[in-house]
Structure 1
């Protein structure tokens, strides 16, 4: 059996950028098993040496060379990390030199620009959007005038995590509305949503997957019965079809993919934070 390959995401900041890019790269090698670890805030030589020892030990224990996906901007820290003997992958290296040539200026080695609080207005917009998503979750507040997006679907179809993602990464005020038993029986959108048709996006899900999710939340209840899941999904999809709403199945779709599809469909262009 092929040994599990240790992978380290190393950064002088949060490590989110290194981990995001690194994860995308590793998914291209589905036949290899990886054990990943993130070491953030490696911003001093002592921390770099400590990280290098940790990386080397992991490689010796696994019997294979570790992979180090690095976003440290300080060359000295990079040199110290390389003493780990790991395969060093600098996520900025392929892009910095071409950009320096094109822009006619050297890069500025500043830490925390990607995920630091460098733009206070944008940061507060993101926090406000997050508060909006939480207070408008599951139809708790029915005032949708300030909503940019309203996700509609049966309970546990993926509305809440998608709203939170849109708020956190795009600063978008996203609300969600769970179709109730009364809504499903009426076979049409509730009155409170009809005035916001241009903001609506429908989410559906395979009943088998829905039943699994609901069973974890409320085991052996009517809410989690397969008949209930099949009926609710069928009724919701019928409403979406009658109301001519764009609908997406979340069964095998990630939050990132759902969010991208929603933004594209509703014509919302927002830079990711």
Structure 2
């Protein structure tokens, strides 16, 4: 079942119009969420990121779009799909209503919610070998728009295709200043000694929910120091560890970049802290 503007449809009958602005112009946002036993993980953070992104794109936020309303829409959809007692991935898509590119007064929105089961309730460390490379054909623009989860993801898609065609598991993306920004589907963290480094959002990296939670967790420890600073490609092979983060994978350690192989000790330690946050969220 799919939720289209508050109505439930069977997946095969769920259709959006041809003139949908998300399809026609990429005028859309999305939010990917993890739900465990009908509990939305980090819901408040996801909700406010979605609302702030809609405001930034000057979308009209419906009056009923309270946290309680959207939570109810998500949980009703999960129940309709008989996933109440199963970990679930939920995706919320929001696009401006159909209309021409030169009709700025058209700010009302359509929303679509879908869900699918996940294998594990909480975040787990997958220690499978994971090799990455730099994608240098195209660049992410630094700035505020790149921090949003919009439908404009061509650089990420091309980076994913490059990785697949060349036998890598993922690729790192650069901005126009040649700083490392993020993976094709996740944020990046580097570990060197007790310093954990991640790019600032001003470099154009996605304002990830798990990124934010992990930064908060690291700031509360005496063992590690977090630095939000630009990352040069030359730093990658000097790091002790590298890992990616997103709302579905949690933390995924990187095994190899070019001739450099990494440990995953810190990633495992931080995963415990992330799961503790998820349980309390």
State the TM-score bracket (shorter-chain normalisation). under 0.3
Question: What is the TM-score with the length of structure 1 in the denominator?
Answer: 0.22
Higher helix content, 1 or 2: 1
- Which is greater in Rg? 1
* Higher relative contact order, structure no. (Cα contacts within 8 Å, ≥ 6 residues apart): 2
Question: What is the TM-score with the length of structure 2 in the denominator?
Answer: 0.21
